[in-house]
Amino acid sequence: MFFSDIFGQQQLKTKLAASVNSGRIPHAQLYSGPEGSGTLALAIAYARYVACIGEKGEDACGACSSCRKFDKLSHPDLHFSFPVNTTRNVKDPVSDDFIQQWRAFVLENPYFRANAWYNHIGLENKQGLINKKEGEAIVRKLSLKSYESRYKFMIIWLPEKMHVSVSNMLLKLIEEPPPNTVFLLVSEHPEQLLRTISSRTQPVRLEALKAEELKQAIGKKFDLPAPELESLVRLSNGNLITVFETLEHAEENRQNLTRFIDVMRMCWKAEYFEVNDWVEEMSGLGREQLKSFFEYACRLLRENFMMNLKKPELVYQTAAEEDFASKFHKFINERNILDFYEEFNRASADIERNGYAKIILFDLCLRMMKLIRK
């Protein structure tokens, strides 16, 4: 990653480059910002800029031996720590067990959610952690001298996932690091960090991307018609991750919209035989597909409810969703919205526990037949 690869944040990128060129390189920085603003990408680009040994101006040169190794995130003085957990093949995990997968995953797209990473390495229903063994690995790596660069870098992604023993282990190391060591902490929830950790770092705060910056980012990767582009920018609400996920799952979202429209019309008309056919079809989907549908349905319910408030600036929908909602939103109101949420969340939880899909779905439909008439 180069500074030029990070969308927006121009003032911040200029400030970071200037600080390096003037010799001011804080030993510990805390990168944070709204989801999809590019915190991880910026931290990597910063490390690249510091390590670059070629002629650099506003960005790293891209041609020196250091930059060529950063192209693959394989520079010997660039270290990563990130949440992991046990998998079928790894029973006592540390970040290095997944480093090849991590490099490929980040290089493909550095804008992603934690769950996308967990799914990528097969954590299934587990949450990622930075455990004591990982903390010991960090201490061991940083006790060594740098190999090629003047500095060695430790990028810790989601430090709020550190076990308290790891936080205590790293506290003194961050306060009094080995010579020429740079900690770059990249956090989604910096308020969850131990105060003793965050107070010893220099904050680097990113802003949500503006509409024009999002349009430029999307235009570099996708060729979209103007109306679809405008709709996508509004739907993302400054979050580039939402943009990528929406485009990646466009076909799935279209299918989920059709499924939602069908079941709501059947429930309104109380068409029991048609509902049974719908249940038969839906029960053939996998668990994750059903959970994705329930999550999508909850979002649509929220947007339809917000339409009743007559504040369009608070509603985020695609053009197809808006077309359906123009007639449907009047059926979602303060009398039933919470109950709708509860029913879909209950169904999702039951599917998560491997409940019998046909019973769960048919029961959901029966309850919705009552709720839609409230």
Instruction: Determine the pLDDT at residue 303.
Output: 92
Instruction: Determine the pLDDT at residue 2.
Output: 96
Residues 6+ apart with CB under 8 A from 35: 113, 188, 239, 241
Residues 6+ apart with CB under 8 A from 109: 244
Residue 160 lies in a domain: yes
Is the pLDDT reported for residue 115 higher than 90?
Answer: no
- Quick one: 254 and 178 in the same domain? no
- Quick one: 165 and 289 in the same domain? no
Residue 241 lies in a domain: no
The residue that leads in pLDDT, 195 or 232, is: 195
Residue 17 Cα to chain centre, angstroms: 26
Average pLDDT, the chain: 92
- Quick one: 258 and 184 in the same domain? no
- Quick one: 280 and 353 in the same domain? yes
Identify the band that residue 334 occupies on the pLDDT scale cut at 50, 70 and 90.
very high
CATH number at residue 83: 3.40.50.300
Residue with tokens 């339809």: 304
48 lies in which domain range? 3-208
Q: What is the pLDDT of residues 294-313, one digit of tens each?
A: 999 999 999 999 998 888 77
Residue 100 CB-density burial (10 A; 0-12 exposed, 13-18 middle, 19+ buried): exposed
- Quick one: 152 and 264 in the same domain? no
Q: What is the pLDDT of residues 319-328, one digit of tens each?
A: 889 899 999 9
Look at the chain and report how many structural domains it folds into: 2
Query: Residue 311: enclosing H or E segment and its boundaries?
Result: none
Instruction: Determine the pLDDT at residue 167.
Output: 92
Residue with tokens 């009047």: 330
Task: Tell me the two tokens of residue 233.
Answer: 């920018």
- Quick one: 48 and 137 in the same domain? yes
- Cα distances from 322 to residues 299, 300, 327, 329, in angstroms, run 13, 10, 9, 10
Give the C-alpha separation, 240 to 187, whole Å: 17
CATH number at residue 301: 1.20.272.10
Residue type, 209: L
Residue 232 lies in a domain: no
Instruction: Determine the pLDDT at residue 234.
Output: 83
Instruction: Determine the pLDDT at residue 313.
Output: 76
Instruction: Determine the pLDDT at residue 266.
Output: 96
- Quick one: 201 and 305 in the same domain? no
Residue 238 lies in a domain: no
